[in-house]
Structure 1
């Protein structure tokens, strides 16, 4: 078992030198061996001596071909190990730097030591931030050692097998062919699979320990491992999910053909109740909806400057998340979760336009006041309630189970963005936006520990979780005039406390959605339940102001708040 101190002492340059030497020996074997291979048979030489010479020649060629094949595998494995070690060492170094930043140190055995043991840390170090950083350091070190152990075991195995001459058949036409065949047949070092049941931080740590070549191999061979893996960079997830689209479409086309056959067969069945045909049509409609959802995803991605961060076709309705902008390099990231009746095929296009408008508003604020670039995500990563499920307690808009399940997934998505930024060292200001039943889902997500710093719930029928883990003074709500779908009294019960009228409302900044005049010009009022994201509105301006970290630029209702009146 390797240790942190072992890995820090590893010298990839030494392996690289050994690989170069092995390659040179391989080339010598190839050139000299193939020249020697041409010496036999000798035309016109027959008889017993000729047969003995030819047999000895074949035996020597067999050995040369085996040597060249094994030299090729050794050279390749040494080069791979030389490339694989620096990312692991960099991951250890980054973990040590993160530890120091939050008042910890790492010993040679990988133990994490609290420099503030027995005394209070400096005031700017929030306990929750320190706890999260400590866990991140532990995850980074554990994954670095996991990958290092994989490199060590794989390389030792290759060297042992090569020493025993296990590579190559010895029956190739030339020595060069033997080396080339070994190159193809033996991939060299394996790549560690993603850690099982991993957190976003563990996924990020695993990815960071892989070499660029290894990452490229996994993107090529296993996009299904990567596309929905919280913690990986958005660019990687998008590339993987985009690569998955043709296969998903082909699979759904087969399902569509099967569903159509069921409909055709049902026509010949005597079924006065209509149950057989109804079931067949329902199945066909479900598959058609999934294909339409893939169409919507591809159309949206075709706009450019988009990232496909999530794609799941296994549920009754396709789930997806698409970002406008680059979540990896954005200083500010907003994640919008819509609500009742939302589907990818029905709503993604419009919500993507809304998020593009939000991002444009954010850029206008950034141009005037700074704050870094913004990305905005439409997250339809759960089975939002539909009209046909209103009587199903597990899927009804009148009950919390769908929001609770969605909130669990949404919290992981938030944590994935945070872990990706932690791994790259890119600052992050993460804002959660939730509309209608999506605000309940957002509330349940914020009942978990996440890196979300600001949250705005609008058109909310209830915040979901009883206590939202958001920094004090960073909760916001909007309630349009004419929006009769939000509670107008106290605690609503089934979907959680009201952000507007319950005692918990004192924790929210109550935002204006009336017409207003700001430095951006005249802004329009929004009304009713569906207008909160209207372009050119006070409402969307407020969201952009919060997303960019400029709450002072937003419009408020003048409610007395946790940090004083507005």
Structure 2
């Protein structure tokens, strides 16, 4: 078991020196070994002595082949280890810097010790920030040791196999060919992240990888990275974009298979029509998914976007696309839409809405400060559809899809927070939810997340009974003429408008026409108007997203005095 003391003592430079020496030795073996191979047979020499010499010569040549193959494999692995160690040691240095900043020390045994134990903690260190940092450091150290063990185990394995003469086939025609066979061995394996890793553990894993190893993963295993909450948005987007061609090819195969099933069904006597119905359903699903990939490609083609989620494994494609750079944004708003939402039918429209929101947010921060903003359209769940209304498991009147979506959305929020923590970038995170998406948002906020503010609009119910958002930072909007919101605690949770506690918990925002520093803004009405690009409603979202609630338009309520 590797310790942090071992990691601190590891020397990539020493390994690089060994690699250089092994390269030199391997080249000598190739040159001299291939010369030695040419010494027999000797023309005109025959008999027992010649046969004995030939047998000895073949044995020595096979030995040279094995040694050369082992030396080549070992040299490659040692070079990989020298590179891999730089990633682990860099992650440890970053963790130690973070620990020092918050009053902790990482010991050689891997413990995170409190340097203020028994002493007064400086007032500028927030207790909640310290507690969160302690958790992060524990995760960081655990992953550093996990990756270090992986490097140590793989290198030891190659050393053992080389010592046992297990490289090369022994049948190569030359020593050079044997060395080439040795280099084919993969050497160090790339440490695959845990399938159950938390959004906080994923950036800890990524941090332990060298630049070269990250590039290899992006090239060879984008499927490991694209949907991994906690990784930087730029990494996820690059990985997901790389996945698109393979996802499209797989769906085209499914479509071809469905078309073949339809042709087969035509020749089968089936009075119920079930076989043809199933085949047509599979064809429609494949076509809809391909249309979703088209919508994603079109949206990403506008530039300035990041593809943060791509999942084709469900009945309908799920995706999340950001406008702006989530990694560098101080303000991030995540919008979750509701009933009838699909990627192929809804992404383009909502992406434009989020682009409008980002533009309005930029107008506000240009005047009042607050840093850059990024906005995200999150269609990361199976939103209820019209054809599922009668099914209790899929109905818009049932909370089941919202609960499942809320679990995923909470991880997405936490992933954004973990990514900002890892890069030490300030974050003001706002949750936006419309219609059934507000219920999904509410269930997400029933978890612990880094969300600072939440706004629900056109909401049929907030999902969870209690939303874990700082006091005074819940907002709602209700358009005139929006009759799709209940005034009771229904199946989708308490109403953010009419529940007994709504007036004390939520700021009721205006959606009337208004005059602001950005000019005259439109009123909105009905259930689908909240995201109008020149509306008071969208302006309110921009003000909340940028951390300027004092600029928003309210319905006769005052802003809570909770500190921001």
For the aligned residue pairs, the C-alpha RMSD in angstroms reads 2.3
Partner in structure 2 of residue 13 of structure 1: 13
Structure 1 contact 83–211 (Cα < 8 Å) conserved:
yes
List alignment gaps of at least 5 residues for structure 2.
none
Structure 1 contact 508–561 (Cα < 8 Å) conserved:
no
CA distance in 1, matches of 2:406, 2:7: 39
Q: Deviations over 1:28-52 (max 9, x none)?
A: 222333344444455x443246555
CA distance in 2, matches of 1:40, 1:166: 26
User: Secondary structure in 1 aligned to 2:494?
Assistant: coil
Using the TM superposition, give the Cα deviation of residue 308 of structure 1 relative to its aligned residue in structure 2, in angstroms.
Answer: 1.6
Partner in structure 1 of residue 498 of structure 2: 501
Q: Deviations over 1:141-180 (max 9, x none)?
A: 1111111111111111211221222211233233222222
Equivalences for residues 363-512 of structure 1 within 5 A: 363-487=362-486, 489=487, 491-502=488-499, 503-512=501-510
User: Secondary structure in 2 aligned to 1:379?
Assistant: strand
Partner in structure 2 of residue 286 of structure 1: 285
CA distance in 2, matches of 1:276, 1:398: 31
Partner in structure 1 of residue 178 of structure 2: 178
Pick which of 364-373 and 436-445 moved more: 364-373
Is 1:199 the counterpart of 2:198? The answer is yes
Is 1:60 the counterpart of 2:57? The answer is no
Using the TM superposition, give the Cα deviation of residue 274 of structure 1 relative to its aligned residue in structure 2, in angstroms.
Answer: 4.5
Using the TM superposition, give the Cα deviation of residue 454 of structure 1 relative to its aligned residue in structure 2, in angstroms.
Answer: 1.5
CA distance in 1, matches of 2:480, 2:366: 31
Partner in structure 2 of residue 312 of structure 1: 311
Partner in structure 1 of residue 237 of structure 2: 238
CA distance in 1, matches of 2:52, 2:548: 89
CA distance in 2, matches of 1:330, 1:355: 14
CA distance in 2, matches of 1:372, 1:7: 38
Partner in structure 2 of residue 113 of structure 1: 113
Using the TM superposition, give the Cα deviation of residue 118 of structure 1 relative to its aligned residue in structure 2, in angstroms.
Answer: 5.6
Q: Deviations over 1:298-355 (max 9, x none)?
A: 2222222222211111211111111122222222221111000000111011111111
Structure 1 contact 506–562 (Cα < 8 Å) conserved:
no
Equivalences for residues 58-97 of structure 1 within 5 A: 58-97=58-97
Number of residue pairs aligned between Structure 1 and Structure 2: 560
Partner in structure 2 of residue 152 of structure 1: 152
CA distance in 1, matches of 2:215, 2:130: 34
CA distance in 2, matches of 1:366, 1:76: 52
Distance 1:119 1:508, change over 3 A: farther
Distance 1:35 1:268, change over 3 A: closer
Is 1:168 the counterpart of 2:158? The answer is no
CA distance in 1, matches of 2:101, 2:511: 41
Distance 1:555 1:120, change over 3 A: farther
List alignment gaps of at least 5 residues for structure 1.
none
User: Secondary structure in 2 aligned to 1:449?
Assistant: coil
CA distance in 2, matches of 1:391, 1:100: 58
Using the TM superposition, give the Cα deviation of residue 90 of structure 1 relative to its aligned residue in structure 2, in angstroms.
Answer: 2.2
Using the TM superposition, give the Cα deviation of residue 530 of structure 1 relative to its aligned residue in structure 2, in angstroms.
Answer: 0.9
In the superposition, the TM-score normalised over structure 2's length comes to: 0.93
Structure 1 contact 507–561 (Cα < 8 Å) conserved:
no
Q: Deviations over 1:5-62 (max 9, x none)?
A: 22122222211211121122222222333344444455x4432465555544443333
Using the TM superposition, give the Cα deviation of residue 273 of structure 1 relative to its aligned residue in structure 2, in angstroms.
Answer: 5.0
4+ residue segments displaced more than 6 Å: none
Using the TM superposition, give the Cα deviation of residue 443 of structure 1 relative to its aligned residue in structure 2, in angstroms.
Answer: 0.8
Structure 2 contact 550–559 (Cα < 8 Å) conserved:
no
Using the TM superposition, give the Cα deviation of residue 250 of structure 1 relative to its aligned residue in structure 2, in angstroms.
Answer: 2.1
Is 1:543 the counterpart of 2:531? The answer is no
User: Secondary structure in 2 aligned to 1:377?
Assistant: strand
CA distance in 1, matches of 2:474, 2:97: 32
Pick which of 15-24 and 401-410 moved more: 15-24
User: Secondary structure in 1 aligned to 2:161?
Assistant: helix
Structure 2 contact 381–404 (Cα < 8 Å) conserved:
yes
Partner in structure 2 of residue 553 of structure 1: 551
Using the TM superposition, give the Cα deviation of residue 119 of structure 1 relative to its aligned residue in structure 2, in angstroms.
Answer: 6.8
Partner in structure 1 of residue 518 of structure 2: 520
Pick which of 285-294 and 265-274 moved more: 265-274
Distance 1:393 1:132, change over 3 A: farther
Using the TM superposition, give the Cα deviation of residue 365 of structure 1 relative to its aligned residue in structure 2, in angstroms.
Answer: 2.6
Using the TM superposition, give the Cα deviation of residue 271 of structure 1 relative to its aligned residue in structure 2, in angstroms.
Answer: 5.1
CA distance in 1, matches of 2:132, 2:313: 33
CA distance in 1, matches of 2:446, 2:117: 29
Using the TM superposition, give the Cα deviation of residue 496 of structure 1 relative to its aligned residue in structure 2, in angstroms.
Answer: 1.6
